[in-house]
Amino acid sequence: MRLSLVLALIFNLAALVFAGPAVKGATLVIYDPKLSKLSDYDNFVKSLDDVKAVEIGSSDIALFINGIRMFENLVILPSKVRSISPHVGVKELVEYVNDGGNLFGVTSSAGAQLDLEKFLGEVGIYTNAKFKLFDHFNEDSTKEGSVLIKDPEFQNKIVVPSSVDQISYSGSAALLSNSEYLIPILKAPKTSYTYNAAIGPVGSDSVWTSGDQGYLIVSFQALNNARVTWLGDDNLIKDSKYDNLAKDLVSWTFQYRGVIKSVSTSHENVVTGLESYKVKDFAKYEIEISQWSSEENTWVPFEADDVQVEFIMLDPYQRVNANVTSSDEEKTLFTAVFQIPDQHGMFTFSVDYKRPGLSFIDEKIVVPVRHLANDEYPRSWEITNSWVYLTSAVAVIIVWFAFVTVFIFSGKAPLVEDGKKKN
């Protein structure tokens, strides 16, 4: 028995040694040299940390080894190759994101990796690189086949805080599902459409998107805070004039920006200071939240006025705003005070803070709420509605005693006078 345990331990250690440890923060870049050289993305690649670039289709590409995720971030550049590698497909991409990995996917009119498109469809981003964006009212005269988008309006300032004067776009557009975890970044112009000339004349079969129902840049954040971003034109990471845009997208996707966390939570009874409650007590709930600052490379206080606390039993019985009560160099303390409802049972303190572009915070604490003890109910004379009944009872008692007293001490009156009785 001991020998088998020792052998098993040696085998597992050997497997870990040969596999190599997972590199925290490492970025895997998968590219297609037949479509674009890696040097074409030189500025983009240099902005990444700890990069490992691998040609698509290589058998060396593996996102997991012995169940350990090998890369924190994954970049898939445009490619016409159908399969990423013998070991990586749609299933592995889903598992990678479910394990907390971040993915930055790029397609172009020249090609789109099939596994990437299928994965994007899993999260509600429906792309098709065979369809190209056209806009006859906003054509780029300096670049044939490109759409000129002037003063593009980025819909989420947390993901893309910077601004761009104009974008020359040559790619496709995506349709989106109604998933609440999608974050639209850039809409297609209202006069644009995506069209596949190989199918035939413009019609329902040959048009993928029409107007601003199409999106050119879309992000997604899973419940485990893993992030995905899709970009429909690789020129936006090739051209140096879009470096700020590319940097913003990468910084958010790889969780250098828009990251918040819950530092601590606590609750107590306002009167007793204990973590036990009965109906109609007052409770105080506190949560400390920090935000990561990539500029300062440290955690800083999180500023917000929309943090809410819920007190739930199946449905929220209370939903109140948590106000800022204090702040230090790293965190902000939010506090909410409310009265527990007149209902006993198992309740949950819940902070479900989900805002597009920020990490999700989901804190829950389950507490019992007891009913009043026998000696904790109010006495009858403390209830104003009972006063009329108490007054009636006391009045009856007083009148009864008065009647009895009068009856006993009044004596017996003769029915006939003595003189009249003798006659």
Across residues 190-199, what is the average pLDDT?
Answer: 84
Query: Which residue would you say has higher pLDDT here, 75 or 411?
Result: 75
Residue type, 141: S
Model confidence at 124: pLDDT above 80:
yes
Query: What is the model's pTM?
Result: 0.82
Across residues 398-405, what is the average pLDDT?
Answer: 92
Minimum mean pLDDT range among 108-112, 262-266, 396-400: 108-112
Residue 380: the pLDDT is 79
Q: Per-residue confidence at 20, pLDDT binned at 50, 70, 90?
A: very low
Query: Which residue would you say has higher pLDDT here, 243 or 5?
Result: 243
Structural domains in the chain plus CATH codes:
2-253 (3.40.50.880), 260-374 (2.60.40.1930)
Contact 71, 50 (CB under 8 A): no
Query: Which residue would you say has higher pLDDT here, 141 or 30?
Result: 30
| Torsions phi, psi for 374 (to 5 deg) | -60, -35
Query: Which residue would you say has higher pLDDT here, 422 or 190?
Result: 190
Residue 2: the pLDDT is 47
Across residues 252-273, what is the average pLDDT?
Answer: 96
| Helix (H/G/I), strand (E/B), else coil: 400 | helix
Contact 330, 360 (CB under 8 A): no
Residues 6 or more apart whose CB falls under 8 angstroms from that of 141 comprise 148
Tokens 């169940």, residue located: 67
Query: Rounded to 5, what percent of the chain is helix, strand, coil?
Result: 25, 35, 40
CA distance 311 to 350: 6
Across residues 224-252, what is the average pLDDT?
Answer: 93
| Helix (H/G/I), strand (E/B), else coil: 136 | coil
State pLDDT tens for residues 159-180.
999 999 999 999 999 999 999 9
Chain mean pLDDT for the chain: 88
Question: 10 Å Cβ neighbour count for 179?
Answer: 11
State pLDDT tens for residues 349-358.
999 999 999 9
Structure tokens at 91: 């299933």
Radius of gyration of the chain (CA): 36
CA distance 349 to 309: 7
Model confidence at 4: pLDDT above 70:
no
Residue 415: the pLDDT is 59
Tokens 């989900």, residue located: 354
Q: Is the dihedral of CA 251, 252, 253, 254 positive or negative?
A: positive
Residue 18: the pLDDT is 34
CA distance 227 to 219: 7
Model confidence at 395: pLDDT above 80:
yes
Structure tokens at 373: 């003890």
How many residues in total does the chain contain? 423
Model confidence at 16: pLDDT above 70:
no
| Torsions phi, psi for 360 (to 5 deg) | -85, 140
Residue 409: the pLDDT is 83
Say what percent of the chain tops pLDDT 90: 66
Residue 418: the pLDDT is 59
State pLDDT tens for residues 323-339.
999 999 999 999 999 99
Minimum mean pLDDT range among 20-24, 110-114, 151-155, 275-279: 20-24
Across residues 281-310, what is the average pLDDT?
Answer: 95
| Torsions phi, psi for 366 (to 5 deg) | -95, 130
- Reported as type and span, the H/E element at residue 159 is none
Q: Count, in order, helices (H) and strands (E) of the chain.
A: 8, 26
Closest CA to 75 of 44, 114, 100: 44
Residues 6 or more apart whose CB falls under 8 angstroms from that of 157 comprise 357
Residue 289: the pLDDT is 97
Residue 414: the pLDDT is 62
Across residues 279-290, what is the average pLDDT?
Answer: 97
CA distance 415 to 418: 10
Closest CA to 129 of 177, 182, 170, 88: 170
